[in-house]
Amino acid sequence: MPFHLHFGESDLLRCRFALSPLWETQAAVRLLAHPGAHGYHLPWLRRIREDAAALDLTPLWLLMPDGGHNPDFVSPPPVGPATTFEEEIAGVRAVDPRVARDDMAQALAGRPDSPAGRRMLADPARTVRELADLLERAWQVMVEPHWPRLRALLEADIAYHSRRLAEVGFERLLGEISPQLRWTDSTLTVAGTRGDHTRVLGGRGLVLMPSVFVWPDVVGGHEPPWQPAVIYPARGIGGLWTRAADRTPDALARLLGRARADVLCALDEPAGTSALAHRLALAPSSVSAHLSVLRAAGLLTSRRYGHQVLYERTPLGIALAAQEA
């Protein structure tokens, strides 16, 4: 069933992109309960399985019913483009317990006889503290060790779609982000969502958030008091967990040197120095030196995005990296 978002003139002035480490954390928790649904992330699942098994994620899973409401307060839309997990989890801890209780009651409506659910609703302030602590542990175990790689992909997606917004406009951009998004008569329809919902934005605008762990779905939601958001699959997740060495042509490695060729081939999406260093298990200083050489040779371009410089391949760099291994 579709989700309809009705825009006014002022809403178009308040649309923005953002990324959220807290959203990725709760989405990773959900994914852990359904590992067979997301084959792209099997390498990640294998890496975190042992440590994640020590976490009791049952309270969070209880609030994530299939086909039902999921509480917004555990992953509200970020207030800025580069919000940290620490800032986001502080917002969760500060949520009004009455708001949290109403949010949880909607999620638990299909499980009225659940003892754990009744315990949550009986003391929402305590439940908020416990859920925040659990989300923080899930972040530390499941997401934070891989965050440089994930953040690089998300930032690259935002950089790409921001450029496309300037080139083709908002209506065409939505269709490029996902075929599940359709713009008609000032209304954004998100197809394939659970239930049939309508919301008038009323001047609050919209947050567009790429996500690594939401694939293949597009999620539309966040009820008042939070700003509405649409969460969509980030570009390039097919190669997210692939080692660069696995796709570096031997001929290119002989031409450029293995490490430099790996850097070039790792740039399927724009990325910064620290993310590439983490992905390739190289020192940031070495990656920086390789990037400088590749850029001087005309194989890369660079541009500043937020707090970092993103590198991407030129047409010549793309052609070289595309050679058969």
Tell me the pLDDT tens digit for each residue of 87-139: 999 999 999 999 999 999 998 988 878 899 999 999 999 999 999 999 999 99
pLDDT band at residue 194 under the 50/70/90 scheme: low
CATH architecture of 242-321: Orthogonal Bundle (1.10)
Per-range mean pLDDT, top range of 22-31, 150-159, 276-285: 22-31
pLDDT at 158: 87
Tokens standing for residue 324: 């058969």
Q: Among 155, 146, 151, which Cα is nearest to 46's?
A: 146
Percent of the chain with pLDDT over 70: 93
In the chain, residues under CATH classification 1.10.10.10 are: 242-321
Phi and psi at 210, nearest 5°, equal -70, 150
Helix axes 21-33, 85-93, angle to 10 degrees: 80
Q: What b/e sequence results for 152-187 when a residue is b if at least 16 CB atoms lie within 10 Å of its CB, and e otherwise?
A: bbbbbbbbbbeeebeeeeeeebbeebbebbbbeeee
- What integer pLDDT is reported at residue 323 of this predicted model? 67
